[in-house]
Structure 1
Amino acid sequence: MSTYNGEKYIKTQLDSILAQDYEEIDLLIRDDGSTDSTREILSAYAKKYSSITWYSGKNIGVQKSFFDLILKANLERDYYAFADQDDKWLPGKISRAVSILKDYSKSMPVLYCSDKVIVDEELQPIKVTVSRVMKKTSFGNALVQDMCTGCTAVMNKKLLDIMRVRIPEFTIMHDWWFYLTATCFGEVYYDKESYILYRQHGSNTSGAMINKNNLFRYRLQQLFKPRGEIYYQASNFLTVFGNNDLSSNNQDIDLPKISIENMKLIKDLLKSRQKFLYRIKLTLTSKLYRQKVLDNIILKFIILIGKL
């Protein structure tokens, strides 16, 4: 868990993690430079519960904070989950994820993620009129869309090991990097059931689309905002995983190779920024897509104007 000025909600989240019906849970927390009473709360919980460990750091932002946690994780564990400070986990969240992950080979990198119940500040459900569609997970989807909400993510050790080898200089969001890595080298299991109360409030780093007005405004902003992040993220992914001769954080772990098919797709994506013929090619392929029909149409338009 990464925390930052979370005094208002963090006790609820910590209590919900401690109340999980999966008993073997250790909680590692990095505080990202809080200026409220968050650190005092963490200290009190750590003194009371031996399963909780925390450390403080400079304010580096949520993404870098989570990647720092990845580097400091206890490598003797089989599964790793990510938690936000302001949600509430339902009792079976971890046991459900583990029941899925344990059916996969330990040699395969696997990511579990799920839907979520959107709630207000008082944990009361908010009416959601925008459905979250998950038709198929794939590397082609992950290149252009993040379908993993980080607070629902649970991964096996193999996936964590791969991500620890080299930390990216840039990614749009840390959970998007999880999704990219898992779809490129292993498997993603998306659970349509929810085991988490996802709190929406004014201080959220990111939020969920809950109605058509929110979604329309988001799509409009996506069309007209300065773009290029998807190209940059893809380029960083190629830098991290496309050259196995680069130095790594752990020399004992061999990086998997990007498949020929995935390598071709990511290189075509990067070439499309400068070459119109590649843009045409990408609009015609079914391998690069977003989950919803309208979002996919918008994607094709953005590809054509070279603004990913």
Structure 2
Amino acid sequence: MHTTPSVHILLATYNGGKYIREQLDSLLAQTYPNISIYIRDDGSTDDTVSIIQDYIAGNTSSKKIVLLENGGVNLGCPASFYQILKECPPADYYAFCDQDDIWYPDKIKRAVKKLASVPQPERPCVYFCGYEYYTDTGEFLRHSPPQKASVSLTDVLYYTPASGFVIVFNETARQELILQVDPGRELHDRWLLRGAACFGTIISDPRRLATHIRHSDAVTAEDSSDSNLLCSFLKNEIGGTAMTDSKEDLAYFQNVFRHKLSASQQKTLSLFTAKNSFLRQIQKLFYPRRLRARLAGELAIRILFLIGKI
């Protein structure tokens, strides 16, 4: 019988047959012993489900693999992840998992050690680590950008310091930030990080413990220079609706937790969610704290404030 804290890995799949074997192998190779893997497929039309079933049938490790019923429903992301969280039994910790990344063997072990050391474990606690970008042909692209050791609400307003697949969180975060409220359409990583920044603890681990695969049809300007990244930001954020959507999502978060937010948190959120005025544009343009990790992203968002896009 395990005496170590339990960890549920939450794997959402969709047409990932080309990559999922390598990911499942990396999950089963985790050095941490008390792991269960809960998988929800979102209606794959390739061999993803049959591969998962083969792994379940041939699993000789101590780690349990469970394929949840999907009821023939395609939920998309992030709803498929939220559904797994609703259906899986309680655990001490939970880890989001994408179908096409690769985890290093001590990823979960290190996360549990860090989470177990927080001074207030009864509060929502979210851990994340660094990672590396590779192409699907094995070419190294870059490291994930370094993140602050201490992450506050300001750091997660218009920036997400961690992708879902490097996030591990406790049962309190699951209850208070997911099950007891409706996250709506917001991505699971952003929602958890904002919630933990306001009401709990965020652990930022610089150790790189996973490989994120950029597929050949998905490699973007984000994987190259700051100048290319700035051009990409300006094209997508000025020309598209991404940033107006982000502003709406911030307002939704503020409304959901309006009775729990402190006065200073309410003030910060209101500055970035209220209807634009000339004064607010100036206040946001000269906001004294940095809002994004990379210089190109920071320049882009200041331009958006200047022109009144958000």
* RMSD value, Cα: 2.2
- After TM superposition, list the pairs within 5 Å mapping 1:142-221 onto structure 2: 142-163=156-177, 164-171=179-186, 173-202=187-216, 209-212=222-225, 214-221=228-235
Q: Distance in 1 between matches of 2:47 and 2:296?
A: 44
Report the equivalent of 2:8: none
Percent identity for Structure 1 against Structure 2:
30
Structure 2: where are the runs of 5+ without partners? Answer: 1-10
* 1:301 corresponds to 2:303: yes
* 1:270 corresponds to 2:273: yes
TM-score normalized with structure 2 length: 0.86
Give the superposition deviation at 1:174: 2.0
Q: Distance in 1 between matches of 2:157 and 2:185?
A: 14
- After TM superposition, list the pairs within 5 Å mapping 1:251-262 onto structure 2: 257-262=260-265
Give the superposition deviation at 1:283: 2.6
Report the equivalent of 2:78: 63
Three-state SS of the structure 2 residue aligned to 1:209 is: helix
Report the equivalent of 1:282: 284
Q: Distance in 2 between matches of 1:208 and 1:117?
A: 16
Q: Distance in 2 between matches of 1:203 and 1:30?
A: 25
Report the equivalent of 2:135: 120
Q: Distance in 2 between matches of 1:176 and 1:207?
A: 21
- After TM superposition, list the pairs within 5 Å mapping 1:59-138 onto structure 2: 59-75=74-90, 77-104=91-118, 105-122=120-137, 124-128=138-142, 132-135=145-148, 136-138=150-152
Report the equivalent of 2:53: 43
Amino acid at match of 2:125: V
Three-state SS of the structure 1 residue aligned to 2:205 is: strand
Q: Distance in 2 between matches of 1:202 and 1:73?
A: 34
Give the superposition deviation at 1:207: 6.9
**8 A Cα contact 1:67 1:167, kept in partner:** no
Give the superposition deviation at 1:131: 6.4
Distance of aligned partners of 1:117 and 1:297 in 2 relative to their CA distance in 1, 3 Å threshold? closer
Give the superposition deviation at 1:291: 2.4
Q: Higher strand share goes to which structure? A: 2
String of CA shifts for 1:108-164, please: whole Å, max 9, x gaps.
211111211112224x24142x86142352101211111111110111111111122
Three-state SS of the structure 2 residue aligned to 1:62 is: coil
Give the superposition deviation at 1:234: 0.8
Report the equivalent of 2:23: 13
String of CA shifts for 1:151-201, please: whole Å, max 9, x gaps.
101111111111221122221x22111211111111212222211111111
Distance of aligned partners of 1:78 and 1:194 in 2 relative to their CA distance in 1, 3 Å threshold? same
Report the equivalent of 1:249: none
String of CA shifts for 1:44-66, please: whole Å, max 9, x gaps.
22233370111242212121111
**8 A Cα contact 1:274 1:306, kept in partner:** yes
Distance of aligned partners of 1:116 and 1:27 in 2 relative to their CA distance in 1, 3 Å threshold? same
Report the equivalent of 1:34: 44
- After TM superposition, list the pairs within 5 Å mapping 1:223-242 onto structure 2: 223-226=238-241, 227-242=243-258
TM-score normalized with structure 1 length: 0.86
Report the equivalent of 2:4: none
**8 A Cα contact 2:155 2:290, kept in partner:** yes
Q: Count matched residues.
A: 289
Would you identify which runs of 4 or more consecutive aligned residues in structure 1 move more than 4 Å? none
Amino acid at match of 1:238: Q
Q: Distance in 1 between matches of 2:39 and 2:23?
A: 12
Three-state SS of the structure 2 residue aligned to 1:188 is: strand
